[in-house]
Structure 1
Amino acid sequence: MKILRYSWLISLIALFALTNCSEDYLVRPPEDSLTDADFYKTDEEVMAATAPLYSRMWFDYNDKASFSIGDLRSGIMMAPWNSREFGAFNANGDNSEVIAGWNAFFTVIQQSNLAIRNVNTFATSDVSDEVKKMAIAEARFMRACAYRNLVLAWGPVPIITDNIAIMNSTDIKRNTISSIWEFLTREMRAVAEDLPEEPYATGRITKYSAEGMLARFYLSRAGVESTGGVRNEMYLDSAKYYAQHVIDNSGKSLMDDYRSLFLYPYDNNNESLFELQWVYSSAWGPSNSVPAYLAYSSDIGNGDGWGGAYGASWYVISQYEGINPIGTTGDTIRGATIDTRLYNTFMLPGAKYPEITQDYTADDGTVAQRECIYPNNTSDASFACTKKYIVGKAVDVAEGASSQHYPNNTYMLRLAEIYLIYAEAALGNSDESSDATALEYVNKIRRRAGLSNLPNEMGNGDKTYFTADDVFKERTLEFAMESMFMYDLSNIFYYNKPRALSILNNQDRGLFAVYPDTYPDPNYWTFVKTSWHTERSITATEGNFYLPVPTADLGSMPSLTEEPVDYYQSN
């Protein structure tokens, strides 16, 4: 069972009561964190001290803020009523998920800072130098990942590396985006030197986790350091270098089919480079709560299943090959796709999921159970609800599950992204590239999804080149509902603001109906926009592209409204 295989995570539950955070997330270190000098006596105790950084400290982000920021705000997900501020692109500083995401990231940063301080201060001579170095590297890795999400979602934010040193400060300033990315690449290079090539235990990060992050970070930094819309070639080369090093040396490989990525138990598979580690527990914090909010109904939940009013947007459905416009009005699309990413990311009427148990009402009126068949809603407003990360009822999960408590992990970095980072870096500032290695990486992603290689314009053979749009589309579909798309748009925003804003402003985010040709076992679906729903688009601008700093933090730290300063010049 998972909880035995990942026994190091038991410490996460045991330490839960000791790692609750104070409400002053930005500055003040948690008063009830694990600071007892007696705890850091052995290698095992030191590594147990960093265990909560793999899950509990990310919980409030993972809970709802992750998909609110990454998928709902970006236009992958449609939610016409719930979380309306995010979908409408006008969330303010009092929005609960703005606050949750901000607080969660600074909680990760606080706890990482504290772990570094504690290992340096309290670890005894019985703790090996290797373990001290590894534990500190883990904390620096987590801190850098939290800052990466912060700077992409909020723009300039303050870099804090020692909460205790500044706990009485009332004059914390934000740092410039450029200096934040310099800090992040410096940090992750150091981390890559200090982490082992093989994990200390299943689920722990490695040198290749850090190098994968470096590929991701340098791709971002290339845009930050662009000139006139031309990305920095040196950082593009660095992204390509680290991506190739991970591909060649990590021993990682793509899962054979896309379905396997989310078919439980998928945790810590050979495609994964970094996951948030969840375990089934009755405690609040060590388990994954996301399935509760995204499962379409209690029919496939465990006293939860509140995602019936969330679903795929018209924008993302229209991206899948084989689903094409019908007529000239733009109100109807129709078809089916062999792209397995659709059916394993979103549910369409009649789609079957034998791994998920579904309650249904039998002909005699009794409630029975069967394999999940996504229901057919014949009204003029329906939802293609989320499949990704939905693992079903307790009977479907060996470790057990209950309302808002699930054991499945959350991907934070996987090899498929490294392939696409390589391709984008190889493409660089060109509109297209014939780099054979990069083209093959793009095609491997497509073939794994059941598609052919990129087709040529005539439709009678393979492309001998690929374009920026090809890479962008593969990223969009590969990582839909993995809380990625808004961060991708932020990377584009760094060097091409008009393009990022145009993508957002030309999305259709309104209601639509999904009609199968037959039910069950449909051959194709027809998607028709709901005529009476008029709130179909947003207005994204340079002024509202980034999320606002929570109102409470602005009130207690007015210096956050001042112009950001260069981190290295101000320290």
Structure 2
Amino acid sequence: MKIIKYTWLLSLFTMFALTNCSEDYLVRPPEDALTDADFYKTNEEVMAAIAPLYSRMWFDYNDKASYSIGDMRSGVIFDPWNDREFVEFNASGNNQSLIAAWNAFFTVVQQANLAIRNVNAYATDAVTDDIKKYAIAEARFMRACAYRNLVLAWGAVPIIEDNIAIMNSTDIRRNTPSSIWRFLTTEMRAIIDDLPEEPYATGRITKYSAEGMLARFYLSRAGVEADGGVRNQTYLDSAKYYAQHVIEYSGKSLLDDYRSLFLYPYDNNNESLFELQWVFSTTWGASNSVPAYLAYSSDIANGDGWGGNKSATWWLLNKYEGINPIGTTGDSIRGATIDTRLYNTFMLPGAHYPEITQDYTMEDGTQGQRECIYPNNTADLSFVCTKKYICGKNVDIAEGASSQHYPNNIYMLRLAEMYLIYAEAVLGNSNQSSDATALEYVNTIRRRAGLNNLSDNEGDRSYYTVEDLFNERTLEFAMESMLMYDLSNIFYYDKERALNILNNQDRGLFAVYPDAFPNPNSWTFVKTSWDSNRSINVTESNFYLPIPVADLSSMPSLSLDPVDYYAGE
């Protein structure tokens, strides 16, 4: 069972308490830091010291902030009554999910910095050089991943490599995005050879995890270093190189069926390059809490299931092939799709999920259980709620589950992204490409989702476009907290396009009517006539999240213009 298999993950949870926020949050050493010099005596102890960077340190981001920032801000999902600050791009520096994400990312940074310091200072001669290098490389990898999310969500942020050294600082400055991306690509390149080709233990990163992240980082840096909207070709070429290297040499492969990616137990499968590692445990922070907030009802959950009002947007549903406009008013769409990503990301009325047990009321009025059939709501508003990462009741999960405590992992990087990064790097600054390898990679992602190759009236297309890539990334990674970070990458080199994507989305209410229930063949979607709150207004001034008020109050220098981290070299 997983709870035994991942003893490396649980070994330190009892030593780590919840990290408390304080006014000097950015600079203070975390109260839950492991600094006992006697702990780093063996290879196993050193590797155990890094383990919480795979889970607990990310918990407050993973909990609710991940989908709020990545999916709700970007227009993948909306909620008509809750989390409106993320839906409408007016989150303040006092927003609790915003604060949770900021603090979680800097917790990862702090713990990574301390781990590096402690391994260097306290590891005994019994710890091998390879393990020292591996442990430090893991810490640097996690720190870089946290900074990647920070710079994409907040823009300029301060780079901190040693919290002890700056503990008494009162004048920390933010660093420019350009210098942050230079730091991130330099870091990730530096650790590749210190990581093994095979994981130290199931779920731990390898050199190919780092190469995959480096491909992602170079694609971002190409936009940051754009000149007049033209992305930097050197960094596009680097993104292409590393993506291809992972595809060809990692030994990873796409799972045959998109459904398998999220059919529990899917953890650490052969498509995965990096996951947050969760286990079922009564220890707060050891388990995955996301299903609690996204499952549509307690009928398929474990005393939680609070996601009944969180729905795919009208904008997103229009992207699935086979669901098309009807009439002339633009208020209705109808159809079905063979794209299995819809069925496995969101639930439509009448859809069956045999892996999930559902409570329901039988004809005689008594309560029974059956395989999940997503219910039909005949009112003038409905919600297409989340399926991805929903793994069901305790009875469905061999390792167990309880309210806000689930054992399934969260993807942070998987091989499918390498296919699409390669294709985007090849496309570069053009609107379309006929590169055969890149086109095949795009079509491979589509075929895995049950779709045909890209085509036109004359058959299979010999090219793919910017819009093709954007649509594939949007649908492939919906509800994986990805799209807002993708839009931030676009914003670097084409602000107008990024803002137009957001401002032209329909995020309003609608109703869903299946043609039959419970086994429909198609659905009709109709905009709710009385809902006029359908669009948002995003500008350059509110595109990035604001820094938490508490940190700005205690460190006013964060409001000053950012500086180049490498200035003076």
- TM, length-normalised to structure 1: 0.99
d(CA) in 1 for partners of 2:14 and 2:451? 46
Partner of 1:567: 565
Partner of 1:373: 373
Task: Report Cα offsets for 1:399-418 as digits up to 9, x if no partner.
Answer: 10000000000000000000
Where 1:411 maps in the other structure, the secondary structure is strand
d(CA) in 2 for partners of 1:362 and 1:301? 19
- 1:570 deviates by 5.7
Matches within 5 A, 1:221-370: 221-370=221-370
The one of 485, 494, 497 equivalent to 1:496 is 494
Partner of 2:554: 556
C-alpha contact (below 8 Å) 1:240/1:422 kept by paired residues: yes
Partner of 2:97: 97
Where 2:460 maps in the other structure, the secondary structure is coil
Partner of 1:473: 471
C-alpha contact (below 8 Å) 1:22/1:28 kept by paired residues: no
Where 2:334 maps in the other structure, the secondary structure is strand
d(CA) in 1 for partners of 2:3 and 2:306? 27
Partner of 1:200: 200
C-alpha contact (below 8 Å) 1:76/1:313 kept by paired residues: yes
d(CA) in 2 for partners of 1:309 and 1:570? 52
- 1:217 deviates by 0.2
d(CA) in 2 for partners of 1:310 and 1:26? 32
C-alpha contact (below 8 Å) 1:21/1:107 kept by paired residues: no
Partner of 1:511: 509
Partner of 1:542: 540
d(CA) in 1 for partners of 2:389 and 2:59? 15
Where 2:455 maps in the other structure, the secondary structure is coil
Matches within 5 A, 1:425-444: 425-444=425-444
- 1:4 deviates by 1.9
d(CA) in 2 for partners of 1:455 and 1:12? 53
Matches within 5 A, 1:209-228: 209-228=209-228
Partner of 1:79: 79
C-alpha contact (below 8 Å) 1:99/1:550 kept by paired residues: yes
d(CA) in 2 for partners of 1:182 and 1:72? 29
d(CA) in 2 for partners of 1:525 and 1:26? 50
Partner of 2:527: 529
C-alpha contact (below 8 Å) 2:15/2:32 kept by paired residues: no
- 1:31 deviates by 2.9
d(CA) in 2 for partners of 1:285 and 1:10? 11
Partner of 2:480: 482
Structure 2 counterpart of 1:299, one-letter code: D
d(CA) in 2 for partners of 1:345 and 1:474? 14
C-alpha contact (below 8 Å) 1:159/1:175 kept by paired residues: yes
Partner of 1:106: 106
- 1:20 deviates by 3.6
Q: Is 1:169 aligned to residue 169 of structure 2?
A: yes
Shift in alpha-carbon separation, 1:10–1:42, aligned structure 2, 3 A: same
* Greater displacement, 19-28 / 166-175: 19-28
Where 2:444 maps in the other structure, the secondary structure is helix
Structure 2 counterpart of 1:477, one-letter code: L
- 1:22 deviates by 5.0
Task: Report Cα offsets for 1:423-477 as digits up to 9, x if no partner.
Answer: 0001111111111000000000000000011112x1x411111111111100000
C-alpha contact (below 8 Å) 1:359/1:370 kept by paired residues: yes
d(CA) in 2 for partners of 1:230 and 1:31? 45
- 1:21 deviates by 4.9
Where 1:275 maps in the other structure, the secondary structure is strand
- TM, length-normalised to structure 2: 0.99
Where 1:344 maps in the other structure, the secondary structure is helix
Partner of 2:460: 462
Percent identical across equivalent pairs?
78
Matches within 5 A, 1:109-124: 109-124=109-124
| TM-align CA RMSD | 0.9
d(CA) in 1 for partners of 2:78 and 2:10? 37
Partner of 1:27: 27
Partner of 2:140: 140
d(CA) in 2 for partners of 1:22 and 1:367? 44
C-alpha contact (below 8 Å) 1:259/1:344 kept by paired residues: yes
d(CA) in 2 for partners of 1:378 and 1:522? 14
d(CA) in 2 for partners of 1:121 and 1:22? 27
C-alpha contact (below 8 Å) 2:55/2:277 kept by paired residues: yes
C-alpha contact (below 8 Å) 2:16/2:33 kept by paired residues: no
Structure 2's unaligned 5+ residue stretches are none
- 1:53 deviates by 0.1
- 1:138 deviates by 0.2
d(CA) in 2 for partners of 1:328 and 1:232? 43
C-alpha contact (below 8 Å) 1:21/1:32 kept by paired residues: no
Task: Report Cα offsets for 1:502-541 as digits up to 9, x if no partner.
Answer: 0000000001001101101001000001111111000000
Task: Report Cα offsets for 1:159-188 as digits up to 9, x if no partner.
Answer: 000001001100000000000000000000
d(CA) in 2 for partners of 1:430 and 1:31? 50
C-alpha contact (below 8 Å) 1:257/1:448 kept by paired residues: yes
d(CA) in 2 for partners of 1:223 and 1:13? 39
d(CA) in 2 for partners of 1:111 and 1:16? 11
Task: Report Cα offsets for 1:457-502 as digits up to 9, x if no partner.
Answer: x1x4111111111111000000000000000000000000000000
Structure 2 counterpart of 1:520, one-letter code: P
d(CA) in 2 for partners of 1:394 and 1:25? 37
Structure 1 counterpart of 2:137, one-letter code: A
Structure 2 counterpart of 1:85, one-letter code: E
Task: Report Cα offsets for 1:193-232 as digits up to 9, x if no partner.
Answer: 2111110000000000000000000000000000111000
Task: Report Cα offsets for 1:14-68 as digits up to 9, x if no partner.
Answer: 3333x74553431101133211000000000000000000000000000000000
Structure 2 counterpart of 1:185, one-letter code: T
d(CA) in 2 for partners of 1:508 and 1:243? 34
